[in-house]
Chain A
């Protein structure tokens, strides 16, 4: 174990390339015990990031990933690796008090990724939906641009993160509105109006990134992003219908969601090439599509009612026939 750490430190100082990092991390920890393996690997990630930051003499405040590492990283960079190996008693390097909970500064890898991606969104207008934007975001947080290695799908991760964020915001807004209506503080909207407002709210979140959004849409359509993007789209549409009051448990469940998905996708496409002030044409298009769907629903209801009365008429004829032929007697 100690030998592995020493080799790591030497290699890191020699090679500053970001791409080698991941390979190193996986090579070095092959000798570690498996239960602590993932913890140690994450600790390595952060130590490495911190080392590179210290090496490049950046003075920006570094988010302390764990109490233990802050201690060791506070010393000079050359001794931090030694400090790591000499204080090697506990392979789990995050500080835990007696209750087993992590200190307040502890951050999971997913939370760190989320933070990097959120910061990276600011650079999207400049760099587009690319790994460069993520690297710029990471550097703003004081981390090395090598941390883009954390993201397997690169730009796909950035776009999906943005979509997730927008959907969560939409769900929150809808839930708040729902609360207000339930408390009687607001009027409940008609379904068509509700759908229109919900889709508009969600599409307005794209406005800051509208110039680069076609690129994002194409990224979402890549084969390995499709499962995730479809899932996000379907949960968003389900959320909107749920808060619109849909509690159907028959085929309507599917037809309504399919209709709304169609409306959303087509309106998104219109929005991307809309150059009118404040996207007026997009909202007009949305209005018309929703009117279409409402009309179709009304027509369907009428057809069903007609069908039912026809069936009743036929049943009446059948009963009359049965009466005439004498088949309608109690046996």
Chain B
């Protein structure tokens, strides 16, 4: 009963303060109508189409990133799962699984479209993880270092964008991204600790992987 009243109230309020463009009204109403029944959510209700598009693309690329990271660790585990580094990689993989689950929730709740290239990142991630793991434990760690560095750089730039836009409005989202970025930096440091730099061709490998990550981020934001 109360929830229905809240829903109705939210819809009325959003209509009353709707910006003059009818299209903006509809975008806001669509998400407000579906989000209003949950009291706590990470994103603020979008105030216009532009903001919704920006948040959508940010969440889409983050989701794609976590999905890719998941598959990379899966590939590494497939090769090195039974060795001494198995438990370490498994631990990092579990943290990535948590991140992915969180993003899945957010995407479903806020009706964000996932990237069309997920099957591609599935295969590419697994292949990358497996191939670098075949170079041995150092190779796997080097891959981890490269990927985690890219991801934390990406999260940092997102944090900067949100802070420049309106830190108070995006408090929960900023908190979430900061938390995930800290986890990724931890993985990066773990990789360095475990002799990532001693793989032959470390610099080349790292540069190549980071270039691939940058391309993936660029594409996933749009498609």
Q: How many angstroms from the CA of A111 to the CA of B25 in the assembled complex?
A: 12
Verify A330–B83 contact, CB threshold 8 A.
Answer: yes
Chain A, residue nearest B82 (CB): A330
Partner-binding segment picked from B108-116, B182-190, B192-200: B108-116
Q: A242-B111, A253-B113 are in contact. Are A179 and B7 (CB under 8 A)?
A: yes
Chain A, residue nearest B83 (CB): A331
Kindly identify which residue among B26, B34, B107 contacts A249, using a CB–CB cutoff of 8 Å. B107
Interfacial residues of chain A within 160-191, with CB under 8 A of chain B in the complex: 164, 168, 171, 175, 179, 182-183
Report the minimum CB–CB distance from B44 to chain A (whole Å): 19
Number of interface residues of A (CB under 8 A): 25
Verify A235–B21 contact, CB threshold 8 A.
Answer: no
Verify A110–B21 contact, CB threshold 8 A.
Answer: yes
- On chain A, the residues within 8 Å of B33 by CB distance are 171, 175
Kindly identify which residue among B103, B111, B116 contacts A238, using a CB–CB cutoff of 8 Å. B111
Kindly identify which residue among A110, A183, A235, A249 contacts B114, using a CB–CB cutoff of 8 Å. A249
Verify B119–A328 contact, CB threshold 8 A.
Answer: no
Q: Is the interface of A mostly helix, strand, loop or mixed?
A: helix
Verify A110–B22 contact, CB threshold 8 A.
Answer: yes
Q: Is the interface of B mostly helix, strand, loop or mixed?
A: helix
- On chain B, the residues within 8 Å of A248 by CB distance are 108, 114
**B206 on the A face (CB < 8 A):** no
Verify A250–B118 contact, CB threshold 8 A.
Answer: yes
**B215 on the A face (CB < 8 A):** no
Interfacial residues of chain B within 60-78, with CB under 8 A of chain A in the complex: 63
Bitwise interface map of A from 249 to 264 toward B, beta carbon under 8 Å scored 1, else 0: 1110110000000000
- On chain B, the residues within 8 Å of A114 by CB distance are 22
- On chain B, the residues within 8 Å of A242 by CB distance are 34, 111
Interfacial residues of chain A within 305-331, with CB under 8 A of chain B in the complex: 328, 330-331
Q: How many angstroms from the CA of A114 to the CA of B22 in the assembled complex?
A: 9
Verify A249–B63 contact, CB threshold 8 A.
Answer: yes
Interfacial residues of chain B within 17-39, with CB under 8 A of chain A in the complex: 20-22, 26, 29-30, 33-34, 37
Chain A, residue nearest B106 (CB): A249
Q: A114-B22, A331-B84 are in contact. Are A247 and B37 (CB under 8 A)?
A: no
Kindly identify which residue among A235, A251, A328 contacts B118, using a CB–CB cutoff of 8 Å. A251
**B1 on the A face (CB < 8 A):** yes
Verify A328–B3 contact, CB threshold 8 A.
Answer: no
Bitwise interface map of A from 110 to 138 toward B, beta carbon under 8 Å scored 1, else 0: 11001000000000000000000000000
Q: How many angstroms from the CA of A295 to the CA of B22 in the assembled complex?
A: 39
Kindly identify which residue among B20, B63, B107, B118 contacts A108, using a CB–CB cutoff of 8 Å. B20
Chain A, residue nearest B112 (CB): A249
Q: A249-B107, A249-B114 are in contact. Are A179 and B30 (CB under 8 A)?
A: no
**B204 on the A face (CB < 8 A):** no
- On chain A, the residues within 8 Å of B118 by CB distance are 250-251
Kindly identify which residue among B1, B113, B116 contacts A183, using a CB–CB cutoff of 8 Å. B1
- On chain B, the residues within 8 Å of A251 by CB distance are 118-119
**A157 on the B face (CB < 8 A):** no
Bitwise interface map of A from 76 to 111 toward B, beta carbon under 8 Å scored 1, else 0: 000000000000000000000000000000001011
Verify A182–B26 contact, CB threshold 8 A.
Answer: no
**A69 on the B face (CB < 8 A):** no
Kindly identify which residue among B3, B22, B37 contacts A164, using a CB–CB cutoff of 8 Å. B22
Bitwise interface map of A from 220 to 243 toward B, beta carbon under 8 Å scored 1, else 0: 000000000000000100110010
Verify A247–B82 contact, CB threshold 8 A.
Answer: no
**B104 on the A face (CB < 8 A):** yes
- On chain A, the residues within 8 Å of B165 by CB distance are none
Report the minimum CB–CB distance from A113 to chain B (whole Å): 9
- On chain A, the residues within 8 Å of B7 by CB distance are 175, 179
- On chain A, the residues within 8 Å of B30 by CB distance are 171, 235, 239
Q: How many angstroms from the CA of A331 to the CA of B83 in the assembled complex?
A: 6
Q: How many angstroms from the CA of A171 to the CA of B111 in the assembled complex?
A: 14
- On chain A, the residues within 8 Å of B3 by CB distance are 179, 182-183
Verify B114–A328 contact, CB threshold 8 A.
Answer: no
**Which residues of B are interface residues toward A (Cβ below 8 A)?**
1, 3-4, 7, 20-22, 26, 29-30, 33-34, 37, 63, 82-84, 103-104, 107-109, 111, 113-114, 116, 118-119
A sample of 20 inter-chain contacts (CB < 8 A) reads: A108-B20, A114-B22, A168-B26, A171-B29, A175-B7, A182-B3, A183-B1, A183-B4, A238-B111, A239-B30, A242-B111, A247-B107, A249-B103, A249-B104, A249-B107, A250-B118, A251-B119, A330-B82, A331-B83, A331-B84
User: Which 9 pairs, one residue from A and one from B, show the smallest C-beta to C-beta distance?
Assistant: A247-B108, A108-B20, A249-B107, A249-B114, A249-B104, A175-B33, A331-B83, A179-B4, A253-B114
Q: Give me 16 other A-B pairs in contact (C-beta within 8 A), A179-B7, A249-B63, A250-B114 excluded.
A: A108-B20, A110-B22, A164-B26, A175-B7, A179-B37, A182-B3, A182-B37, A183-B1, A183-B3, A242-B111, A247-B107, A247-B109, A249-B114, A253-B114, A331-B83, A331-B84
